[in-house]
Structure 1
């Protein structure tokens, strides 16, 4: 859906014309009584997957069954889980689009021959997302996103860029650039501007629009324009004059171009490692020749990226945009005008929480819209059942089975297209697909099938050595004829752990599973293969894909 820039906050603001309808009369929030909520167990599954990337444990499900009031305490626990920061990064990957394999930088210029290429590409895309993850983990105000004097780096990036990363350490840690760049959080990060480069004629306008889209929810490319077709687009002087004088052009460029002027410290003349790895303070005034417009933010003058970061941090649209992002990412749908009142509540939770992300996430999770089981009472005709992204499918399968689906050279097969299945599984590659799919297709089901088969074989191999958490203490040699009770107990445990469902000893699920196991066993008389086949079928269940 194409929306006007920041439609939810502009259309309904106090500054609207007198012709606009009163929000309370025309745009009421859906009454909670009109919304059919998920069963408590399904609410817990949804919250656990969104906040931790894994399904609730059996102990957590038992706790909720014994005390339905434990739901809020469990969600609070999930918000404090160490995996929360990584889930924030996974969610916002769809906004930043830096998890890509397409980098227009000569990576061969770096001395990284001992580092798998997959690890290099993965590291590059994570820098801005890990900054956001650190802000979420540490309950820092979201203004740090555009004002921090630190970045996040791992040992791979430390070998590429001028950073004070601790020698001998590994993994993601806070670090500082040592090349004199301004303190501006993600706005002064290498990864973001390696991902979004500029041509001479574009003069950083693309970068300015990226900052506006991500931080203000204002994408200039979605603005309708009434363009004068008499302008000769092949004449550079005519185009430059139109950008300064044509009303249709000025509609965007009067605010876009001054913002673009802030980014010339990232201006490069060649693709050498030294050139593209460093910030160039001496080039900050190149706007004079290449753009002709001094740095400013909606009329507020500035001189450096630090000024831009401070200006964005002081803009009311910045926290409002964060609310819009989080709401849409957790609901897996575009926000509607009818969501305005509810999003105002989420904004207040963010502000009252010191601009930390946890209170905002909790506010959305507590909303009836998030807990909805059907589309009754929801804005538009949205179906609230959500489909797992490739990253979420991978994380829950890994937690259930211990299986990490990677190629022999280290690629995460659900996060790559060059050797894996990212877009086939409905994922966004950051270049050709910029949104995760919300409905299944044939290729996704094939990917899930192959993942299920590989994970099931892995579980059985672990069980042979007595080390499978999913199958527990089962004796793989048991058969329905030999020890039906033990097999039934295992099946009941599997359904509870995998789907949150409590099934009966003689329920249809048990009978269907035992029948499938027996049919598989009859093929070769191999109990291990029968268990692998049954587990594969369970791991392909739509309930693992939708939540």
Structure 2
């Protein structure tokens, strides 16, 4: 048997091997390329050489501190510049789940304790849940994430939106103090007049899409029309009308991009 070597460099232990790999310029370049590809949502072959080299230099300057390299990446001008369609990035399943949880307090889980599995986060699990359908990978059959929206990702977002909308409407209107609610801080479960609905819809659009809209803007007109149509279909059921409206807002594809 040959003596332990790493491309001609002798070593005696796994610690030696790890040290030699970390000093191999190919290792730091590979780490930089993969980090750039992941955060910019590109294939490895599409990563510009200059961008990878600059990121590699950051990693080496930080003495192989991966977190320092990632910080430099996300604070760099290339990452912050996301103004056009090509610059926008799609929220991954986990990011989308966290976003919806922050907005509504809802986490899409299934309790499989009776099967001795426990609670499954359906947006994170690729076997029982919808992680792959939402655009993620399972590292076995699907090894590349989806960076665009297709039929399955849209259906997953629609289902997530419906569940989250129902949960937050029930939870918010169960709280008497409006200031302690997540979303419905301006209306009660009995308000159906446009004078109160419009300011609430403006606040929802601001919270969901960061849009500063006037009460009489076309977008607010459309949301109000949807609410009133849902209320007309089932008169008196204010909660159902809000669930319908919120479902439409939460499945808007703008939610899934940043």
Same fold (TM over 0.5): yes
Q: 1:394 aligns with which of 97, 108, 123?
A: 97
The residue aligned with 1:298 is: 7
Offset at residue 294 of structure 1 (A): 4.8
Contact map agreement 1:459 1:468 (CA 8 A) in 2: no
After TM superposition, the structure 1 = structure 2 runs for residues 23-422 of structure 1, keeping only pairs within 5 Å, are 294-334=3-43, 339-370=48-79, 371-374=81-84, 383-409=86-112, 410-422=119-131
Offset at residue 502 of structure 1 (A): 1.0
Offset at residue 338 of structure 1 (A): 7.5
CA displacement 1:168-190 (0-9 Å, x = unmatched): xxxxxxxxxxxxxxxxxxxxxxx
The residue aligned with 2:168 is: 459
Distance 1:533 1:338, change over 3 A: closer
Distance 1:315 1:456, change over 3 A: same
CA displacement 1:428-474 (0-9 Å, x = unmatched): 01211112111222111111111110000000111122253122353
Distance 1:543 1:306, change over 3 A: same
Distance 1:516 1:338, change over 3 A: closer
Offset at residue 501 of structure 1 (A): 1.3
Q: 2:210 aligns with which of 500, 506, 510?
A: 500
Distance in 1 of aligned mates of 2:126 and 2:33: 29
The residue aligned with 2:149 is: 440
Contact map agreement 1:460 1:468 (CA 8 A) in 2: no
Contact map agreement 1:453 1:536 (CA 8 A) in 2: yes
What SS does the aligned partner of 1:407 have?
strand
CA displacement 1:58-88 (0-9 Å, x = unmatched): xxxxxxxxxxxxxxxxxxxxxxxxxxxxxxx
The residue aligned with 1:69 is: none
Q: 1:536 aligns with which of 223, 247, 250?
A: 247
Offset at residue 426 of structure 1 (A): 1.6
Distance 1:338 1:518, change over 3 A: closer
Offset at residue 416 of structure 1 (A): 2.2
CA RMSD across the alignment: 2.2
Distance in 1 of aligned mates of 2:55 and 2:134: 32
Runs of 4+ in 1 over 4 A off after TM superposition: 335-338
Distance in 2 of aligned mates of 1:304 and 1:358: 27
Distance in 2 of aligned mates of 1:515 and 1:385: 30
Distance in 2 of aligned mates of 1:491 and 1:350: 46
Contact map agreement 2:33 2:47 (CA 8 A) in 1: no
Contact map agreement 2:37 2:47 (CA 8 A) in 1: no
TM-score of the superposed pair, with normalisation by structure 1: 0.42
Distance in 1 of aligned mates of 2:181 and 2:30: 44
Contact map agreement 1:424 1:443 (CA 8 A) in 2: yes
Q: 2:229 aligns with which of 519, 522, 540?
A: 519
Distance in 2 of aligned mates of 1:391 and 1:294: 45
TM-score of the superposed pair, with normalisation by structure 2: 0.86
Unaligned runs of 5+ in 1: 1-287, 376-382
Higher RCO structure, 1 or 2 (CA under 8 Å, sep 6+): 1
Distance in 2 of aligned mates of 1:373 and 1:348: 27
Distance 1:424 1:336, change over 3 A: closer
More divergent stretch after superposition (398-407 vs 422-431): 422-431
Offset at residue 364 of structure 1 (A): 2.3
CA displacement 1:21-55 (0-9 Å, x = unmatched): xxxxxxxxxxxxxxxxxxxxxxxxxxxxxxxxxxx
Distance in 1 of aligned mates of 2:122 and 2:58: 38
Is 1:470 matched with 2:180? no
Contact map agreement 2:161 2:251 (CA 8 A) in 1: yes
Distance in 2 of aligned mates of 1:446 and 1:345: 39
